[in-house]
Amino acid sequence: MTAAEPIVEMHDISISFPGVKALDGVDFRMFPGEVHTLMGENGAGKSTLIKALTGVYQIDSGSIVVGGQRRQFQGTGDAQEAGVATVYQEVNLCPNLTIGENVMLGREVRGRVGISWKATHRAAAAALARLGLADLDPTRPLGSLSLAVQQLVAITRGTVFEPTVLVLDEPTSSLDANEVEQLFGVIRGLRDRGVAILFVSHFLDQVYEISDRITILRNGQFQGEHLTAELDRSTLISTMIGKDLATLRSLDAQRAQREHEEGARPVVRARGLGRAGGITPTDLELQPGEVVGVAGLLGSGRTELARLLYGADRADRGTVEIDGRPVTLTSPAVGLRHGLAYSTENRRDEGIIADLSVRENIILAIQAQRGWLRPVPRKEQDRLAERYITTLNIRPADADRPIKNLSGGNQQKVLLGRWLATNPDVLILDEPTRGIDVGAKAEIQEHVLELAGEGMALVFISSELEEVVRLSERILVLKDREKIAEIENGADVTAETIVATIAGHDQNAEVVA
Partner 1 sequence: MSTTTQQPQRRLLTSLADTIRSFVSGSRLLRLNAAAMPTAAALLIFVVLVTFGQVQYGGIVELGTISSLFINNAYLIILAVGMTFVILTGGIDLSVGSVVALSSVAGVMLANAGVNPWIAVLVMIAIGTVMGLLAGVLVDRFDVQPFIATLATMFLARGLASMLSTTPERLEADSAILGIATRLTIYDGPGVNDLVVPPSVIIAILTVVVAYVVLHRTRTGRTAYALGASEQSARLMGLPVARTRVLVYVISGSLAGLAAVTYTARLGSAQNVTGIGWELNAIAAVVIGGTLLTGGAGYVLGSLIGALVIALMNLLIIRDGSIPPESTTIITGGMLLVFVLLQRLVIARRRKG
Interface ranges with partner 1 (CB under 8 A) = 56, 75-77, 79-80, 86, 88, 92-97, 101, 105-106, 108, 113-115, 139-141, 143-144, 157, 277
User: Least distance from C-beta 393 to partner 1, angstroms?
Assistant: 30
C-alpha 186/C-alpha 486 separation (Å) is 38
C-alpha 143/C-alpha 76 separation (Å) is 24
| Choice between 107 and 130, CB closer to partner 1 | 107
| Choice between 76 and 391, CB closer to partner 1 | 76
Which residues have a Cβ under 8 Å from the Cβ of 91 and sit 6 or more positions away?
A: 147, 150, 151, 154
User: Least distance from C-beta 347 to partner 1, angstroms?
Assistant: 16
| Choice between 105 and 204, CB closer to partner 1 | 105
User: Least distance from C-beta 74 to partner 1, angstroms?
Assistant: 11
Angle at 153 between CA 151 and CA 156, to 5 degrees: 115
User: Least distance from C-beta 348 to partner 1, angstroms?
Assistant: 11
Sheet containing 325-327: give its strands across: 279-286, 268-275, 317-322, 325-327
| Choice between 16 and 92, CB closer to partner 1 | 92
The answer to whether 59 touches 103, Cβ cutoff 8 Å, is: no
3-state secondary structure of 83: coil
| Choice between 18 and 106, CB closer to partner 1 | 106
In 379-389, which positions are buried (b, 16+ CB within 10 angstroms) versus exposed (e)? eebeebbeebb
| Choice between 120 and 472, CB closer to partner 1 | 120
The answer to whether 38 touches 218, Cβ cutoff 8 Å, is: no
Closest CA to 50 of 28, 68, 77: 28
DSSP3 helix / strand / coil % (the chain, rounded to 5): 35, 25, 40
| Choice between 354 and 500, CB closer to partner 1 | 354
Separate counts of helices (H) and strands (E) for the chain: 17, 20
User: Least distance from C-beta 47 to partner 1, angstroms?
Assistant: 13
User: Least distance from C-beta 8 to partner 1, angstroms?
Assistant: 18
User: Least distance from C-beta 220 to partner 1, angstroms?
Assistant: 22
The answer to whether 298 touches 148, Cβ cutoff 8 Å, is: yes
3-state secondary structure of 273: strand
Strand ranges, E, within 40-163 = 61-66, 69-71, 84-87
| Choice between 105 and 248, CB closer to partner 1 | 105
| Choice between 86 and 497, CB closer to partner 1 | 86
C-alpha 209/C-alpha 340 separation (Å) is 41
User: Least distance from C-beta 140 to partner 1, angstroms?
Assistant: 7
Helices 358-370, 408-420: crossing angle, 10 deg rounding: 30
User: Least distance from C-beta 472 to partner 1, angstroms?
Assistant: 31
User: Least distance from C-beta 299 to partner 1, angstroms?
Assistant: 13
Residue 51: count of CB within 10 angstroms of its CB: 23
The answer to whether 87 touches 168, Cβ cutoff 8 Å, is: yes
Which residues have a Cβ under 8 Å from the Cβ of 213 and sit 6 or more positions away?
A: 31, 34, 35, 36, 37, 225, 226, 227, 228
| Choice between 109 and 368, CB closer to partner 1 | 109
| Choice between 411 and 497, CB closer to partner 1 | 411
Pairing of strands 165-169, 84-87: parallel
| Choice between 17 and 319, CB closer to partner 1 | 17
Helices 408-420, 378-391: crossing angle, 10 deg rounding: 120
Query: Which H helix or E strand runs over 340?
Result: strand 340-343
User: Least distance from C-beta 413 to partner 1, angstroms?
Assistant: 24
| Choice between 86 and 489, CB closer to partner 1 | 86
User: Least distance from C-beta 485 to partner 1, angstroms?
Assistant: 28
User: Least distance from C-beta 344 to partner 1, angstroms?
Assistant: 16
Helices 177-192, 147-160: crossing angle, 10 deg rounding: 10
Length of the chain: 513
The answer to whether 400 touches 317, Cβ cutoff 8 Å, is: no
Q: Could you give phi then psi for residue 289, rounded to 5 degrees? A: 80, 15
